[in-house]
Amino acid sequence: MMVSGLAFKRLAACALFTGLLTGPALSLSDQYETAPEVAPAQLLDGKEVGPGYAVLPPVRSTGFLHDYELQADQGIEKVLGDGLLKMRLSEIKAFVALESLKNDASFLDGLKQSAQKPVEFVESTIQDPVGTAKSTVSGVGRVFSRLGKGVESAVTGQGGSAADIAKSITGQAQARRELAVQLGVDPYTLDKALSAKLDETASVTSAGSWTVTAITALIPGGVIVNATRAAEDFRNVIVDSTESELRERTLDTFRKAGISERNIMNIDANPHYTASEKAIIAYQMAAMPSVQGLDLIAEDAAGVKDRGFAYFQLRRIVLLETYHRKISGLGQIRDVTGLLVAMRRDGMAAIVMPYDTVAWTEPAAKTFSGLQEGLNRLPFPPTGVDFLITGTVTEMAAERMTAFGWEITGNYPMPEGPVH
């Protein structure tokens, strides 16, 4: 049974009435529950099946995050967490929409025209500049402006290629970025099928007769994303920056946020984040200049080993910045018994997490009970704990945590923007 909102307050009152709040924290940890399994329809409200995908039953839980199995055209994949599932479904929706363009005869003609003017043709026009770059990169930089660094990288073997430079010259690279953000997906998506489809669709613009606006006009309604003002500003940064420019901005923003060089380089090298996501992490951290200990958050983000936990860390940082800006100002981040806790300026502690469902499993019980003891051992213990998550809490878990004296907020929405 899940509880939220007013039910939390009623449980807290019940716990107080029965004397649970006065007992030792660990006395409640000797009984556990199994994390619930539910049907996809209970969580996805009719979106469990759609063009190109099906979410397979049952949906299991780790005690913190939902563990999905997603059947798509490429096969079955494991997806950890509500946020990552929403992101993957948006990618599949975009892929299906782009694939449907081939039903339009005029678009097919555009593809044929682009095939007659392939990247290889443009590559041949830069062979001499690339050769010239070996002796004078600066001259090439004056001719190609922002492409100078790309040419230098291609020549020195440090990155990029003639094909990448050609896509920039034709505007195909920017068209791909613009098309992606219009569809509400990441231009640097890690999904290979969508990435190839974005490249194919954007190549039509290099033929000279198509624009991104003309392409999106053919896409069925409900696929194009209307961003809020804040999200629109970030979308413009993504569209207007080359990948190398975005990386430079990201590194610079991390440094301005006071993140250590070691953690910056580890995040930069982590393959489980996209270039856009690394930029989001950097900008969110820079938006909390007064909060001490952000490097602990960066270290957590840098160390993830798979895509599911990377997206969890991304959502966590976005949620933390939202909490700091909208709910209560934070003073510092502290490591308490291995869990990072935000200490508010008003003396309370805040556990802010994008959890899907918190159940009182044995691992959860040990984690939260140990955390409560750790908070009590601090030289200046917090005056209270605000436990805020994006999902729900089972009745048993809510009962145990309110017995600690924690305030519980469930179903807190992620802010509008590119992170689901």
- Is 109 in the same domain as 192? yes
Task: Give me the pLDDT at residue 105, please.
Answer: 86
In whole angstroms, give the CA distance from residue 355 to residue 363.
14
- Residue 315, domain member (yes or no): no
Write the single-letter amino acid at 107. F
Q: How far is it, in rounded angstroms, from Cα 272 to Cα 285?
A: 19
pLDDT of residue 232: 75
Domain range for 183 is 95-225
Strand-pair partners of 351: 387
Residues 215, 135 share a domain: yes
Looking at the fold, whether 109 and 189 belong to one and the same domain comes out as yes
Structure tokens given for 15: 């716990």
Please tell me whether residues 160 and 180 are part of one structural domain: yes
| Residues in CB range of 22: below 8 A, 6 or more apart | none
State whether the Cα torsion 22-24-30-35 is positive or negative. positive
Residue 322 lies in a domain: no
pLDDT of residue 114: 75
* Residue-by-residue pLDDT tens, the chain, 420 positions: 444 443 444 343 333 333 333 333 333 446 899 999 999 999 999 999 999 999 999 999 999 999 999 999 889 999 999 999 999 999 999 999 999 998 888 888 888 777 665 544 445 545 554 444 444 344 444 334 544 455 455 445 555 555 555 555 557 889 999 999 999 999 999 999 999 999 999 988 876 668 888 888 988 777 877 766 666 778 888 999 999 999 999 999 999 999 999 999 999 999 999 999 999 999 999 999 999 999 999 999 999 999 999 999 999 999 999 999 999 999 999 999 999 999 999 999 999 999 999 999 999 999 999 999 999 999 999 999 999 999 999 999 999 999 999 999 999 999 988 999
SS3 category, 362: helix
pLDDT of residue 165: 53
Residues 110 and 214 reside in one and the same domain: yes
Residue 288 contacts residue 323 (beta carbons within 8 Å):
no
pLDDT at 121: 44
Domain boundary among 225, 244, 261: 225
Could you say which of 175, 195, 225 is where a domain stops?
Answer: 225
Token pair recorded at residue 104: 């339009």
pLDDT for res 28: 42
Query: Helix, strand, or coil here: 372?
Result: helix
The span from the CA of 363 to the CA of 246, in Å, is 40
Do 157 and 278 belong to one domain?
no
Same domain, 153 and 180: yes
| Distances in whole angstroms, Cα of residue 93 to Cα of each of 77, 222, 418 | 16, 10, 15
Same domain, 132 and 10: no
Helix axes 307-326, 275-286, angle to 10 degrees: 30
For residue 278, give both structure tokens: 């690394």
What is the residue whose two structure tokens read 């979106």? Answer: 47
Which pLDDT score, from 0 to 100, does residue 10 have?
37
Number of neighbouring beta carbons within 10 Å of residue 281? 29
Q: Using alpha carbons only, give the angle 71, 46, 388 rounded to the nearest 5 degrees.
A: 90
Shared domain check, 299 and 268: yes
199-202 contacts: CB < 8 A, separation 24 or more? 199/172, 200/98, 200/111, 201/98, 201/101, 201/176, 202/172, 202/173, 202/175, 202/176
DSSP state string for 55-121: EPSPBEE-SSSEEEEEEETTEEEEEESHHHHHHHHHHHHHHHHHHHGGGSHHHHHHHHHHHHS-HHH
**Amino acid letter for position 313:** Q
317 in a structural domain: no
Q: Are 272 and 310 in contact (CB under 8 A)?
A: yes
Q: Tell me, what CATH number does 371's domain have? A: 3.40.1350
DSSP per residue over 275-294, as a string?
HHHHHHHHHHHHT-TT-BTH
User: Is residue 116 a part of any domain in this protein?
Assistant: yes
- Residue type at position 134: K
Q: Is residue 90 part of a domain?
A: no
321 located within any domain: no
Residues 103 and 203 in one domain: yes
- Tokens standing for residue 152: 């230098």
Domain final residue pick, 225, 250, 265 = 225
Coil/strand/helix, residue 45: coil
- 35 part of a folded domain: no
**How many domains are contained in the chain?**
4
pLDDT of residue 107: 87
Residues 54 and 113 in one domain: no
Kindly state whether residues 79 and 144 are assigned to the same domain.
Answer: no
- Tokens 């992606």 correspond to 180
Question: CA–CA separation, 348 vs 317, rounded Å?
Answer: 19
- 314 lies in a domain? no
- The answer to whether residues 68 and 79 touch, using CB atoms and an 8 Å cutoff, is yes
